[in-house]
Structure 1
Amino acid sequence: MIFDGLDVSYGEMWGSHRGMTHPDPMSRGVAERRHAAGMEYAVLLSARERPLALVERWPRRMWRVYLFDDRSWRMQMIDFKPHSTGMLLAHRNTRWQFSSEREHSFWKWEVQETTTVSADGQVEVKSEFAGPRGASAEPLPARTSGPSSVPVRRFSAPVETFLCPVPEFGDWQVFAPFLAQQGHEPAATVVLNDVSVDEGSGPLRPTGIEQLFTPGACDTSDGPAVVESVDAGLLRITSGQLVVSDPGWIGETPRTVAVPPGEFPVTLSLLRTPRGTDVAAAKVTFLDVPPREWEMALRPDEDLGLLGEGQFYGVGVDTGTAAFLDATRTVIEEDQLDEDLFIPLDSHFTVELPGTEPEPNLIAFRAGRGDGSYPVWIGRTDDGQVGCVVVDFQLLSADGGE
């Protein structure tokens, strides 16, 4: 294919997706802000509604380019890293061969060829043959000659032939010459056409937070349900910093909210559906005043402008459990944590790890339907004070999220 124009669209990292459009598109504006912040995103370059290349911007100035053939099959992957010349070095180039469309759909390649280039132009080419079950690394020549080692060719080449400029945002013509490796020839001039994606409503909005704690019947994707509000005890805050975290993974930079010291009630929202009962949300209340507005709880390094449609910064859960605690509260050793917290939560919705007064305690609860990332909302009063903090497990929210 000879092309004189490329349609440009932006989205999240491609991952294992092998379709022809971004599974999670984003606007140019969000992608540009992510670029300036050194964050990851992906750029899809298409022509005549066919994907030709997917460019992924990785942290630490790394790039990855996937190349597609005329069948829109992903057939090649090139990894770039910074070179001492100030350019990018195509330091690893992997190509695949597939025997049929079915084998490609299951990613069962027949031949994989990997070319690795060092910073001074030393080249290594390795070819591998995947056996009938895709489990062996038998080399292609082994079909006839029978050697057991993977054949490797080594030689020197001018490193300049593996270099390309570091692209400024939007300068995707930098990668156009690589498309020729899959038979796509660029014309003398290549015009880039942005595929418009609306900014939309932006990051996840705190819609319906109050309804999470309003008892009564409601409808869900699982059918009719009932919301029940239950007391989970008093949380003792001594440092003026509330932490929302997985109690098994309290990191060095936990998600914190500045709050007054004292003892404050914790409330769970239980959602009873035909499939069972889950914790839909948890709230700690500091002022008995309805919030005037809600805001997402952010770390100092988090910027809402870097989020796409419906996205959020949230608390990560890896034990199926979340907790409210004071910033100075430590947890006991792992085996005791299992005994005192995780095992009791198998049969209870919430559990308290007490502290010796006046030391702070910890109140943990089941996290919705399991592991994931969940938004934390701060409810502020008319005068800007923190009235409550809610972690929403996304079982009833009007907005989705990622």
Structure 2
Amino acid sequence: MTAIRTVAYADGWDGSVVNPLGRAEAEARDAAGQPYAVLVLADGRPEWVVAISWGDGYCGTTRLDRRGRRVAADEWRRGPDGDLFLRCRRTWHGPEDVGDHEFAHVAARHSTTYRLDGRRHDIDEPRGDRGGRTDTSGVEPAPRAPRPAFGRWQDLLGLAGDVRLVETAAHGLPVSSADEPPWRPPRPASPPDLESLFVAGVDRTVGDGAERARLELRHLGDLRLPSGRLIATDPAWLEHDLVPYAVTVPPGCYPVTLSLARIGDDPRHVRVAAARLTVTDRPVHRWEMALRPGQELLDLGHDEFFGFGVDAGMACFVDADEAAGRIETWRTFRIGEQPYLRVEDGGMVLWASGWGDGAYPTWIGRDADGGVACFVADMLL
């Protein structure tokens, strides 16, 4: 017997159909790689919400129970061969007598994350937020699937048996309009205009536009990189954080320049806006996030980044082979005296970190041939 599901298109679902779309517009977005959502209805209620952005290599599916509670969610990502692979699967099993908000916190939770290298990691939380967790790891290739043709949503959802999808605009569900969709594809943070941070005399706003600042440059001389493996971190964490970036450069000495922001009318109010380690003088053609081994952009959500943590108000550049011997160096550095310091032998550069504690990204500038031109630690002013 053929099972019937009805299908509607929109910007998304938040308990209502947000910004409904016709089939033609949804299909055009699908072809252009633009975000949209598919609602698959069973007996007039949303059973599945499919969030698609092929331009980001992303498709997320959410299954709802009869009370509208999220009970399963899959995240599919585009693999190197163009097919989709299952990045993460989450499920919730909980009491029938709790509402949507409480359900996510008290339900038994399970998540499985797959990596492209064949690793699998499972997390079981049988009591939800109430405590208790078991982590297990293993080796298992991620489930894979071809990108479904527009309208063939049953192929992605794994609907069993003979299922027919019927498109409808007369679904009878509540409808709402919004300036922004209720979901966003997982686009990691992109670099700001890093080049402009290293132009002396430029005026710009800082502190989310709350204040004005004028940029100055300080050339700190060369940093020695005997291994070519750069570490950016809080110097107070060197004892525990000696992991360099995965991208390396030839061993040598490389100049470091700080971008300083002199804020407002107080000549003493100076913050470090960014630190640049220049590898070559070739122009930067593109920027990429600096990653450490094991970090993957696929793990980042919307506007997220991998950064180094700071809780002592300081940051540093140091070579991986030098780091262990520099653990005590930072203790002689006093932020109140000056916002930066280069160790005399060129083995370490330290500076006051932006507005203070937090997490800060490092970006790699590559030239037109793909070579490394520079590293820039952005202090997020």
Normalising to structure 1: TM-score of the pair? 0.53
Deviations 1:60-88 (A, max 9, x none): 6331655xxxxxxxxx82535489xxxxx
**8 Å Cα contact 1:53-1:65 kept in structure 2:** no
Q: Call closer, same or farther: CA 1:77–1:271 in 2, change over 3 Å.
A: same
Partner of 1:95: none
**8 Å Cα contact 2:75-2:87 kept in structure 1:** no
Q: Quick one: which of 105, 112, 123 aligns to 1:61?
A: 123
Taking the aligned partners of 2:300 and 2:361, their CA distance within structure 1 comes to 13
Q: Quick one: which of 339, 347, 362 aligns to 1:361?
A: 347
Partner of 1:240: 228
Taking the aligned partners of 2:367 and 2:274, their CA distance within structure 1 comes to 20
- Residue 267, structure 1, aligned to residue 252, structure 2: no
Partner of 2:55: none
SS at match of 2:298: helix
- Which consecutive segments of 4 or more residues in structure 1 shift more than 6 A? 41-49
**Greater Cα radius of gyration, structure 1 or 2:** 1
Deviation, structure 1 residue 348? 1.0
Deviation, structure 1 residue 353? 2.0
Identity of aligned residues (%): 31
- Residue 52, structure 1, aligned to residue 85, structure 2: no
SS at match of 1:212: helix
Instruction: Give the aligned residue type for 2:317.
Output: F
Taking the aligned partners of 1:211 and 1:347, their CA distance within structure 2 comes to 27
* Paired residues for 1:208-357 under 5 Å: 208-215=193-200, 216-220=202-206, 221-250=209-238, 251-255=241-245, 257-274=247-264, 276-332=269-325, 336-340=328-332, 342-343=333-334, 345-355=335-345
Q: Quick one: which of 204, 212, 215 aligns to 2:189?
A: 204
Deviations 1:259-303 (A, max 9, x none): 123222111111222373211110011111220000111122111
Q: Call closer, same or farther: CA 1:78–1:256 in 2, change over 3 Å.
A: closer
Deviations 1:318-377 (A, max 9, x none): 32111112221145576x53543x33x33112112233xxxx611111111112211110
* Paired residues for 1:109-128 under 5 Å: none
**8 Å Cα contact 1:33-1:306 kept in structure 2:** no
Partner of 1:97: none
Taking the aligned partners of 1:327 and 1:82, their CA distance within structure 2 comes to 31
Taking the aligned partners of 2:322 and 2:358, their CA distance within structure 1 comes to 23
Unaligned 5+ residue runs, structure 2? 1-64, 78-84, 112-120, 137-156, 158-180
**8 Å Cα contact 1:375-1:392 kept in structure 2:** yes
**8 Å Cα contact 2:226-2:251 kept in structure 1:** yes
Unaligned 5+ residue runs, structure 1? 12-26, 67-75, 84-169, 171-195, 396-402
Taking the aligned partners of 1:272 and 1:82, their CA distance within structure 2 comes to 48
SS at match of 1:53: helix
Deviations 1:171-206 (A, max 9, x none): xxxxxxxxxxxxxxxxxxxxxxxxx85443600011
* Paired residues for 1:59-138 under 5 Å: 61-63=123-125, 65=127, 77=130, 79=132, 81=134
Taking the aligned partners of 1:254 and 1:35, their CA distance within structure 2 comes to 27
Aligned pair count?
A: 247
**8 Å Cα contact 2:314-2:351 kept in structure 1:** yes
SS at match of 2:354: coil
**8 Å Cα contact 1:244-1:256 kept in structure 2:** no
**8 Å Cα contact 1:10-1:28 kept in structure 2:** no
